[in-house]
Amino acid sequence: MSEVIKLKRGLDIRLAGRSETVYANVAPAEQYAIKPSDFKGLTPKMVAKVGDKVNAGDALFVDKMHPEVRFVSPVSGELIAVNRGERRVILEVVVKADGNTTTCDFGKEDIQSLSRDQIITKLLNSGAWTYFKQRPYNIVADPQLDFKSIFVSTFDTAPLAPDYDFVINGNEANFQAGLDVLSKIAPTFIGVQAESANKAFNGAKGVTITKFSGKHPSGCVGIQINNVQPINIGERVLTIGVQEVVAIGKMFTTGILDFGRIVVVCGSEIKKPAYIRTIVGAQLTNILKDNIASDNVRVISGDVLTGTQTATDGYLGYYDDQVSVIPEGNDYEFMGWAMPGFNKFSNHKTFLSWLTGNKSYKLDTNMHGERRAFVVSGELDEVLPMDIYPEFLFKAIMAQDIDKMIELGICEVVEEDIALCEFVCTSKIPLQKILRNGLNLMAVEVG
Amino acid sequence: MKALRKYIDSVKPNFEEGGKFSWLRSTFGGFETFLFTPNEVNKGGVHVRDAVDLKRTIIVVVLALLPALLFGMYNTGYQHFRMHGILDAVTFGDIFWYGFVQVFPIIVVSYVVGLSIEFAVAQMRGHEINEGFLATGMLIPLVMPADVPLWIVAVATAFAVIFGKEVFGGTGMNLWNPALIARAFLFFAYPSKMSGDSVWYGNQVNVADGFSGATALSVANQTGSTGFDFMDQVYGFIPGSIGETSVIAIALGALLMLCTGVASWKTMFSVFIGGALTAYLFNQFGAESNNMAQLCWCDHLVLGGFCFGAVFMATDPVTSPRTESGKYIYGFLIGAMAIIIRVLNPGYPEGMMLAILLLNTFAPLIDNIIVGRNISRRKNRVKQIAK
């Protein structure tokens, strides 16, 4: 048996609207979009034009710096729009599905007989390379680099996150095939929840298994890396999600890259939370139709801590396997700071809700206060199970002191790892944004 | 409440940019957010946030100070009537009322002066009004002697807010605890009014024979014994600054702050450990002739500002170390230093204020050492791999 790493710090946000492990049927989406903004630091270069017919697996745009990194269409159909924002930044590349799903065949291969270069080339050609994210920076990986290791977290502890033990059902062999591919690129590590008895995860071969127990963010891959083999300056590590590993495994065994994605639709404003089968980049219209309980809601692609705000006709994010819908909190509360607070969720004990046990809360998007300077100390450390002093790191970033940032471990964190810090912050400081600024600054100055 | 909200919404445009009272924007915002938690929503980053904010945190501190304040009022009256030797002739109501009349104006002066400066500075800088002074404004009266002239309270508060806090950038940026800055200012600028060894109760007319009004610490400094029953020292029926005398009242506040997690138990606990241990060592090895060295360690802990400082001053998160392990070192050194000053400085029998201010100064250094160890761990990791 592998060892269990017990993470004591963390916080489970008990959000209402969790889905049972059941599937619901929804009509397939008509439109799909790939959003360059889902890939940090990417400068896209269009290779398909509006009006072009594309197959699933045909490139829509490429990375300007690394043209071999292709971003492909998840469905067959017609490229109908390239929506641009300020300064002509590409926001969405929209494909209207033709309903046939003609896919490119990349050919069956025997994984064991392929070299590392052959594997990377195949991943690049199929567009599956973009499933990997590279740390530091959490960007699409540069295929020419060497990677120290690849990490996969097989459980997600974020609020209302999908249960991968359930999602993996029926795809165990593909998952293992995917891990075989990964191991050819770099030594592969997977993090498994201590309570999980899933055979695909616990019995994975050719990889190093580490078991974790603890609250959120123990399921965040960054936390797992830090506790297994922390990233040092100059090192590069790849991370990838469970469903992406399955898709890669399937592509090497069948030749076809499956863009199917199991997504959990959840949140207190969803009438019937459930798992659904859809496709990467799907428009949410059909998924959310007749399923939202009230008018004033926020639709989030992803979880409530790190997801992207979108609309009921928005698109599923590239890496997301969760859609959360929660109430918008744009109303006032009379003397909110003075109430006993039995119904308020807080990691701090100044609200009496900590006496009321493990009930679920219907949280809205209100900030519950105004931004201040750092005052309360130690609160960020309480929810970050890493050997890092978050407050000092953030102060170094605010001061744009790159040497200090590196010394304090900026290479080891990305936004999702410290999202809980932002949640608990009494002073309402936008920590994820600050971290991203720091990472961007580093990418420019250090590379 | 809807009517109130409607009214606020109707006058709000006057205070926004371009409105005729836009120069009062911060002030309006301060009152508005006091009445109503703003309707601002999360943009980018997390979509939900913890219900806590700084107002909530600060208000818990103010609540925690109430037992000490109420007892301080009672004790002010108690000491007054005791000094006049007519304690048996007055009722509880008389005693409390006398204390209330003495203490309440000090609170009003502290809040009015402090908040006016806060509002003015926020207005000048175009900032929102910070709630930090709500706690400071309550702490300042509690570390004053009950008969301090009001103009001195005003001067000390102004000095503390301007030079203790605003020049550093406001709440969260200050190096020293502003309430202690106020007290230190009085101590150095008006030593005749506040020397730390005697406190006046009432107007010192018709004083009963042989009653000096000296604080227990001062008596102990001169005679080697406090002259008070130990339990009286715990209950707080002794002369001293308004809020500092009752260990019981302070303990109630400490309990609230620890249960709500607003104050760090690490700091609080280690102040007491540091104080007790140092006092005990002086008891064992101190010079026979030094009265303070011979004062029992348990007396040291309950006398003067030790408890009040440990619970309400040392635990101020802004002026404490920001690292958890640093808090042990910081607390321990405050406790030790307070006793060392008491014992070894014959001129000033109370050391808590100076000890905390000194360690406030060293808090960033303590953090630097702790964080430095984290940094070298990270560097060693790289070296290990290089081997």
Task: Indicate the SS3 state at residue A167.
Answer: helix
Comparing A10-24, A357-371, B3-17, B95-109, the range with the smallest average pLDDT is B3-17
The confidence band for B345, taking pLDDT boundaries of 50, 70 and 90, is confident
Q: Which of A368, A406, A423, A434 to mutate to test the interface with B (most CBs of B within 10 A)?
A: A368
CB A151 within 8 A of CB A224: yes
The pLDDT of B132-154, averaged and rounded, is 90
B204 pLDDT band, cuts 50/70/90, is: very low
pLDDT greater at residue A433 or residue B222: A433
Pick the residue from chain B with its C-alpha nearest to A376: B317
The encoded tokens of residue A383 equal: 């929810």
Rg (CA), chain A: 21
Average model confidence (pLDDT) across chain A: 92
Q: Could you read off the pLDDT of B76-98 as tens digits, one per residue? A: 888 888 878 888 888 899 999 99
Bigger pLDDT: A322 vs B383: A322
Judge whether A126 is closer than 8 Å to chain B, CB to CB.
no
**Is residue A136 predicted with pLDDT exceeding 60?**
yes
pLDDT beyond 50 at A116 = yes
Statement: residue B281 has pLDDT above 90: yes
Name the residue in chain A with its Cα closest to that of B170: A373
Whether residue B46 lies within 8 A of chain A, CB to CB, comes out as yes
- Strand, coil or helix: A112: helix
Q: Which of B47, B51, B54 sits opposite A365 (nearest CB)?
A: B47
Which chain A residues are closer than 8 Å to B35 by Cβ?
A: 334-335
The pLDDT of residue B323 is above 70: yes
Distance from CA of A202 to the nearest CA of B (A): 29
Which residues on chain B are in Cβ contact (under 8 Å) with A377? 264, 317, 320-323
Percent of chain A with pLDDT over 90: 79
So what's the pLDDT on residue B319? 94
Across the range A234-259, mean pLDDT stands at: 93
B39, A377: Cβ pair inside 8 Å?
no
CB spacing of B57 vs A409 below 8 angstroms: no
CA closest to A373 among chain B residues? B172
B218, B219, B223: which is closest to B197 by C-alpha?
A: B218
Contact A423 B50 (CB under 8 A): yes
Q: B46–A432: do the CB atoms touch at under 8 Å?
A: yes
Query: What percentage of chain B carries pLDDT values higher than 90?
Result: 45
Query: Which residues of chain A neighbour B387 with C-beta distances below 8 Å?
Result: none
Contact with chain A for residue B317, Cβ under 8 A: yes
Which residues of B fall within a CB distance of 8 Å from A233? Answer: 382
> Which class for A64: exposed (0-12), middle (13-18), buried (19 or more C-beta within 10 A)?
exposed
Average pLDDT for residues A141-160, to the nearest whole number? 94
A389: nearest CB among B261, B371, B385: B371
CB contact, 8 Å: B346 with chain A? Answer: no
- Res B198 pLDDT > 50: no
Give the model's pLDDT for residue B318.
93
Residues 272-291 of B with CB under 8 A from A: none
Domain boundaries, chain B: 54-372
A333 to B128: CB separation less than 8 angstroms, yes or no: no
How confident is the model at residue A193, as a pLDDT?
94
Comparing alpha-carbon positions, the chain A residue that sits nearest to B319 is: A375
Band of the pLDDT at A370, cuts 50, 70, 90? confident
Cβ-Cβ contacts under 8 Å, B45 against chain A = 419, 422, 430-433
- Partner A contacted by B318 (CB < 8 A): yes
Q: Which residues of A touch B40 (CB under 8 A)?
A: 330, 366-367, 370
Q: Which residues contact A36 (CB under 8 A, 6 or more apart)?
A: A42, A44, A61, A71, A89, A90, A91, A93
Indicate yes or no: CB of B35 within 8 angstroms of CB of A381.
Answer: no
B interface test, pick of A366, A393, A410, A413 with most B CB neighbours within 10 Å: A366
Cβ of A166: how many Cβ atoms within 10 Å? Answer: 16
> Which domains are present in chain A?
4-16+106-254 (3.40.50), 31-97 (2.40.50), 260-327 (3.10.20.600), 346-351+365-445 (no CATH)
Query: Residue A64 has what pLDDT?
Result: 93
* Beta carbons of A82 and A128 less than 8 angstroms apart: no
Q: What share of chain B has pLDDT > 70, as a percent?
A: 90
**Yes or no, beta carbons of A419 and B46 under 8 Å apart:** yes
pLDDT of residue B196: 44
With b meaning 16 or more CB within 10 Å and e meaning fewer, what string describes B153-192?
bbbbbbbbbeebbbeeebbbebebbbbbbbbbbbbeeeee
Please provide the average confidence, as pLDDT, over all residues in chain B. 85
- pLDDT band at residue A402 using 50, 70 and 90 as cut-offs: very high
**Partner B, chain A 153-172, Cβ-Cβ below 8 Å:** 159
Query: Quick check: ipTM above 0.90?
Result: yes
* pLDDT band at residue A23 under the 50/70/90 scheme: very high
Chain B residues within an 8 Å CB radius of A422 = 45-46, 49
End-to-end alpha carbon distance in chain A: 39
pTM: 0.91
Within 54-73 of B, beta carbons closer than 8 Å to A belong to 54-57, 59-60
Interface test with A, best of B35, B47, B370 (most A CBs within 10 A): B47
The predicted-structure confidence for B105-127, as pLDDT tens digits, reads as follows 999 999 999 999 998 888 888 78
**With 60 as the cut, is the pLDDT of residue B209 above it?**
no
- Decide if A367 and B377 are in contact by the 8 Å CB cutoff: no
Q: Which residue of B has its CA nearest to A336?
A: B37
Report residue A426 CA to chain centroid gap. Answer: 25
Identify the pLDDT of residue B224: 66
SS (H, E, C) chain B: CHHHHHHHHHHHHHHCCCCCCHHHHHHHHHHHHHHEECCCECCCCCCCCCCCCHHHHHHHHHHHHHHHHHHHHHHHHHHHHHHCCCHHHCCHHHHHHHHHHHHHHHHHHHHHHHHHHHHHHHHHHCCCCCCHHHHHHHHHHHCCCCCCCHHHHHHHHHHHHHHHCHHHCCCCCCCCCHHHHHHHHHHHHCCCCCCCCECCCCCCCCCCCCCCCECHHHHHHHHCCCCCCHHHHHHCCCCCCCCCCCHHHHHHHHHHHHHCCCCCHHHHHHHHHHHHHHHHHHHHHCCCCCHHHHCCHHHHHHCCCHHHHHHHHCCCCCCCCCCHHHHHHHHHHHHHHHHHHHHHCCCCCCCHHHHHHHHHHHHHHHHHHHHHHHHHHHHHHHHHHHC
| Higher-pLDDT residue of B305, A214 | A214
CA distance A15 to chain B (A): 10
pLDDT of residue B193: 62
Residues 6+ apart with CB under 8 A from B348: B195, B196, B197, B341, B354
